[in-house]
Structure 1
Amino acid sequence: MKKQFVAALMALMMVPVSVSAEDADISMELNYEAAPEDYEGTWTLVNAYTADDGILEVAPDACTLEIELSIDANKLVDEAAYIHADATNLQGTMSFNHDDIDVEDYKCSASWENWTTVDVVGEGECNFSGADKFKIRDDDEGVFFDVITGVEIDDMELFDVIGLNADGQLIVGYSEDHIEKDADAEWSYAYIFEKAE
């Protein structure tokens, strides 16, 4: 009887815990007004998301993402009008702290031309906002989603979008409908980070 209880308990521990986005009070909608400066800092993974399961709990402190701005000085931001301005990119480092993950930190980047809004004001002035395409140099090609969440996704695509929600949480994930440009698109799966204090 004791062995059966232990086996049942172990089986329950293997089932991923998920709650609806509404119950978890987490918005998966992007803030398309967010400025590049809002992305700067150290972010700690707090939840994950799949379109099928909703919000998922994650292993505590399993992943950290550090983001800083990098500037392409005097970039040709409007080729047709031959206008130059400083262009803002994101550079990042994704690190893992989990017993089942043993890799070097992943380098990440987002380029200025892929922001939701690239507003060329005039010579020397260009504003950027919204979400961006995000490249993670990911040896696992799934940022260990199955290890950290307990959820396996068949034919998982690389996480390729970074954005902020209305509550200032950072979302990094995959959307087959290009959510970085289309507010009606949806996330397929994602990690959700909060800024470290």
Structure 2
Amino acid sequence: MVLFNKPFDVLSQFTDRGSPTQRRTLSDYIDLPGVYPAGRLDRDSEGLLLLTDDGQLQARIADPRFKLPKTYLVQVEGVPNDAALDQLRAGVTLADGPTRPAEAAVIAPPALWPRDPPIRYRAAILDSWLRLTIHEGRNRQVRRMTAAVGHPTLRLVRWRIGEWSLDGLAPGVWRLA
């Protein structure tokens, strides 16, 4: 198992075929034959990406049937009140149906690496951080959930998948687990 701290603006795949602009991919960071991502992390998201050469393990990690918890540190616009947090905890109705209940809490700003490019600072709009744990993995789910409760995501860092964590792993660095 490979744990990789995917930087912002990197694709969760090894090639970028057909793109007129060669975007950064996993092959810019990982030179291990036969490993593949177990799930995805959007180009504009950062953090833990797991790679494996074990197809059954890859399916167990990526398939929502197994309800493997995924924890995100999420910078959002505004400061969510109890009602917004309760909505996240109960499950949010999105265009593709209701989400499973999430664990949600407002947290102090985490000690993270600077993002490149940085989040645009706006003095007139407060922001805050959430720790959000979901048990499924729909397309852009966390972003859609926070927007649905009135707090669009500014920065999204996946910190944990099941038992695996980003602890001690700098952006663009990988290690074997």
TM-score under structure 2 normalisation?
Answer: 0.27
Which of 1 and 2 has greater Rg?
A: 1
Q: Which has the higher contact order (CA 8 A, sep 6+)?
A: 2
TM-score under structure 1 normalisation?
Answer: 0.25
Query: More strand per residue: 1 or 2?
Result: 1
